Amino acid sequence: MGTLIQHLIKLTDHRERDLLELTLSKALIDLLPLQSVVIAKVLSEEGVGRWMPVTKLDARGGGSVTDPLRVDFETLPKLEDEKDRVRCLRTHQRVEVALAGDAGPRITYIPLFESSHTDDEGVLEIQSPKGLTGSELETIGLLHHVFRNMYLLLAYSDRDGLTGLLNRKSLDDTFYNAVLEELDEGADATAPRLGTKVSAEQERRHRVPPNYWLGTVSVDHFGAIGEKSGHLIAEEVLLLVARILNNTFRTYDRIYRLGGEQFAVLMHCPEEGLVLAAFERFRANMDKFNFPQVGHITACGGFTRITADDSPSTALERAERAVDYGQQNEGNKVFSYGELVRKGVLGDLVNIGDVDLF
């Protein structure tokens, strides 16, 4: 069992937000006589809110961590189905629920973030054999406070200063620490040898290939917009494009601003056709939007399947070649890089280290 100081050090050691919830949960289970800890966040899609259990840990050593890129949104519980969580979220106050009388087990709900935090909503759900004591609540509060501070600090470093979208650094971190790691495991997920034990997670990954896709988006004729309307109007256009991206793609897809008028989307999807449909929805939403003081603006999109041999740069290069093809053909188009190669329109790239060869 680690000490409080040791767990605080672990929380402040992280340079990635994705690991903070698990570290907080482990610290609470390790330090306090709790039965379980759940951290659940709110996901929304087409106006429907659902609960995603980011981490679940119990005192017996069981638990799970949810990959937001691979979550099946339709299987998650709806927001209104967890009324105590919703009450905690709406009041921004701690909520205690007795499960079997005043002296019995309790579930304590604590808002994951303060009311001033707008990017994420969630609750810290703690089940204990009895009501939490003052000293236990103080320990929870201290760990939770450090978690919040680290989360906001890392969120700031991961964000583009203009649009608030994730930045290129965040793309590189996710690519190397999550996507490629899982793709490598998927590549090795051949049929197990006789006598070899396979974990449930390995079996799941063997059954469900990790289909990750990276797409890029570029605003058509953006340079002309800046020259005609000025820098401030061009920035307003980028802010509106970011809003359209957020409103089009799923809340668990990762959306980035790469710089200038270029954006990227990292997503998990089982079929190329579904990825194409998502980017087409974005293209159509751009096409019908009336940009104030500018009017009609279009964009091109391109996407590619990520392989275990990829780096962020090689995957981006393929997606950007598909975007370039669209912009060279009148703009306002979306293309799959793989489909363009299959049709012979583009030659495939071969990755050798960090060098791309045709």
Residue finishing a domain among 157, 181, 202: 157
178 and 90 within one domain: no
174 and 59 within one domain: no
Residue finishing a domain among 157, 184, 206: 157
Residues 340-350: pLDDT tens digits? 999 999 877 76
Give a yes or no: residue 163 inside a domain: no
* Phi and psi angles of residue 310, each rounded to the nearest 5 degrees, phi first: -80, 155
106 and 215 within one domain: no
Give a yes or no: residue 268 inside a domain: yes
CATH code (residue 301):
3.30.70.270
Count of C-beta atoms within a 10 Å radius of residue 34: 21
153 and 172 within one domain: no
User: What interhelical angle do 134-157 and 4-13 show, nearest 10?
Assistant: 10
178 and 137 within one domain: no
295 and 232 within one domain: yes
299 and 272 within one domain: yes
Number of domains in the chain: 2
Residue finishing a domain among 91, 122, 157: 157
217 and 131 within one domain: no
190 and 66 within one domain: no
Residues 274-320: pLDDT tens digits? 999 999 999 999 999 999 999 999 999 999 999 888 999 999 999 99
* Start-to-end Cα distance in the chain: 55
**Identity of the residue numbered 64:** S
Q: Give which of 189, 193, 195 is closest to 209, Cα–Cα.
A: 189
Domain that holds residue 96: 4-157
271 and 314 within one domain: yes
Residues 118-175: pLDDT tens digits? 567 899 999 999 999 999 999 999 999 999 999 988 888 889 999 999 999 999 988 8
Stretch 215-225: mean pLDDT: 96
Tokens describing residue 140: 């929870």
148 and 175 within one domain: no
Stretch 224-243: mean pLDDT: 95
225 and 191 within one domain: yes
CATH code (residue 38):
3.30.450.40
